A and B are shown apart, each in its own frame.
Chain A
Amino acid sequence: MNRARWLIVLAAALQACNGGTLPPPNIVSVQPASRPASASGEVTVVLDAVLPTVANYGANSATIDDTLVLKIGTRPFGPTRWTDGGVVADFLPSVLPEGQYDVTLALGDGRTATAEGAFTVTQGAWPNGYSIDPIPSETSGVPFGVTLRANGPAIDGGFGGTVFLTVPGATVTPTISGQFQNGVRVEVITVTGAGNRRLVVTDLVSNSAQSNPFQVQ
């Protein structure tokens, strides 16, 4: 009986030596860590992780699960695959209200990491309104350019945020504009859905403007 028990203990000890559990991933840094709500631009998140890998010596190959989901708050951020050695840089539009946000990472094998309150959104300085240069008749599904202008009290360096884009009765892409430069943004959009349409721009604090009616054929 004792001998059997020792054998079981020995087998368990040997098994404990076999293989290892991968360590949890780590969110090393978020740059910038703080930004006004009315600003947009690139945010860089540095990750540290051991990706789930299987080395197959017989096939002289390795298999790696490099999928991930990175979020700032509830908003997905960056690509869904591991890139650039864990340095994730992506454009973050001005879509987050003022507040502190967790940055979370979920790897393909289920391991997760959370950097609590790692990104802070401060109070923004918003324009009073927007105007859209006249839009001529367009063709459904064919990209065309529109010029968006931020109006209102002067902002140092001009408005650098983004706005939401909608076309009632039709679909438009993208749904969020790019970054305004000195209060102006030239955006290439695609409207799908024929008819007499208007482009509507709205920012996070509900300042809004609409374009002239234009025909989409």
Chain B
Amino acid sequence: MLIASGVVSAPLRSALASALLTLVASAARAAPVVEAEPSRVVLGPKARVEITVRDAGPGLRGAVSVGTLAPGPQAEGVQRFIWTPPADARAPVLVLLAFWDVEVPTLSDITVLGLPCAGRTELAIDTEPFAKVTVEVAGSRFGPRKADGQGRLRVPVEVPPNIHEARVVAELSDQSKVRVLPLTTTPSPWLLAFAPEKSADHRPVRALILVPDTEESPGTEVVAEGARVDIEQQAPRRLLVRVSPGSSVQRVPVAARTLDGSVRAIGTLEIVPPPAQALAPSEPPPPPRPLRWDLGGAVGGFVGGGANSGPAAAVTVGLGLPSLPLVVELEVGVRGASMSVPMSPLGIQRSSLLVVPVELALRWEALSFRNLRLAVRTGGGILFGSHRLESTFDTAFTEGALGYEIFAAVQAGLAAGPVEPYVELRGSLATMSTAHLDAHPGGGVFLIGVRGGFE
């Protein structure tokens, strides 16, 4: 495992031998922490490295000098990437990876990881017939193998990046002979990345250039066609430049090269139209409200003038509309009223009325401040009634009665855990009449209730 932090500027050769190699930016601020597993790899079709990035913000970006960096499995507070080499890569290389989480980074915002990748090859060796041959590459031993009668043999070896020679030890009887075999290697590519990735409407972008520690000639220059390049920040083997595209170009080819003109990295900066206003950073839309039910009950009374007054109660079932602060409610209630009238000279005439309102309502949850909630209701429905006439002078009589009510109301509630006590003040137009009844069991209705919600 390799953790990218601190400063490494020494030559890489000794680090390779210890199997721990990294280049890390000096972090003036909390740059992302990056780990690689395994910390070194041998190139081949199965080569695969998992990169773990911690302490990164939501705008994390990664860049790599060779191969492909693909998103891996995510976890809480951790972002993972899978690095795979190019399919045809066989030569030893030091792969550079860089991570940052700000749109316009400085060098201190960037965490750099060096991933040494060894290449497999077979060394063709000419030595004494039947000699026992051992090959040493960067401290690792391969063999021994026995030469044939002509003194020829092939020994498979793994060559880390920036290793230029192998020691061949041939043993025959009591003699031992050591030869140094030169290895042909190519320099590892540099990392060239743009931040942001594209230029919006020819705005300047930063170009990050990272040079491997294996580079023998660290001198660096950046050239761009159709753009001006200004150095913004530089450190050993790291360079941050400002690329300002010309107004007439659609893309800007950029190359990073050594001072002697050897190109180590190339890239193309794309020019894109400016982002639409709608794409400007804004508050994310609230998540859609799930379908929700609530059940409530209330008691109170009504006053409608004259004898139109009495107790009232209601049970309400509500269905909240998704993504809207509206609740469709079915309310079933009960109200009562009665009166007693002296009818001289007959006696006392009494009338009692029991009303069952069955109504549909729409509740708008208009305001919510901390635990306080204010809602507006409107609705209407049918009033089913039972009317009874009885007196001291004639026979009692009971009849059914129908009516209607339309109403508007305000509700004030106090959310208290799973339940919400509330009060409601309702103004209603209610009427109920038969050949023997003229009543208005509505008017002003005051209710105190409680409701509970469930999803």
A positions within 8 Å CB-CB of B: 14-15, 17-20, 22-23, 48-62, 64, 66, 82-86
Contact = CB atoms under 8 A, between A and B. Distances in A.
B14 interface: no
A54 B438 CA distance: 7
User: Which of the listed residues A23, A48, A62 has the most CB atoms from chain B within 10 Å of its own CB?
Assistant: A62
Interface in B372-393: 382, 384, 387, 389, 391-393
Contacts of B141: none
A53 B436 contact: yes
Contact of B351 (A17, A22, A55, A82): A55
Nearest to B397: A50
Given A17-B400, A19-B401, A83-B345, A54 B393 contact: no
Given A57-B438, A58-B438, A49 B341 contact: no
B395 interface: yes
Contacts of A17: 384, 400-402
Nearest to B431: A58
**Pairs of residues from A and B, 4 with the lowest C-beta to C-beta distance, nearest first:** A20-B399, A19-B434, A55-B351, A18-B402
A207 to B, nearest CB: 41
Given A50-B397, A82-B393, 14 more contacts: A17-B384, A18-B402, A19-B401, A20-B397, A22-B397, A52-B436, A53-B389, A55-B339, A55-B387, A56-B438, A57-B351, A57-B441, A58-B307, A85-B394
Contacts of B84: none
A61 B341 CA distance: 6
A62 B441 CA distance: 17
Interface of A is mostly: loop
A55 B436 contact: yes
A58 B308 contact: yes
B399 A19 contact: yes
Contacts of A48: 395
B134 interface: no
9 contacts: A15-B402, A17-B401, A54-B435, A55-B389, A55-B437, A57-B307, A57-B441, A62-B339, A62-B349
Contacts of B435: 19, 54
B353 interface: yes
Contact of B394 (A20, A49, A57): A49
A50 B393 contact: no
B129 interface: no
B347 A85 contact: yes
Nearest to B438: A56
A7 to B, nearest CB: 14
A49 B389 CA distance: 12
Nearest to B403: A18
A89 to B, nearest CB: 15
B337 interface: yes
A210 B398 CA distance: 60
Nearest to A15: B402
A83 B394 CA distance: 10
Given A17-B400, A82-B346, A54 B437 contact: yes
Interface in B343-364: 343, 345-347, 349, 351, 353
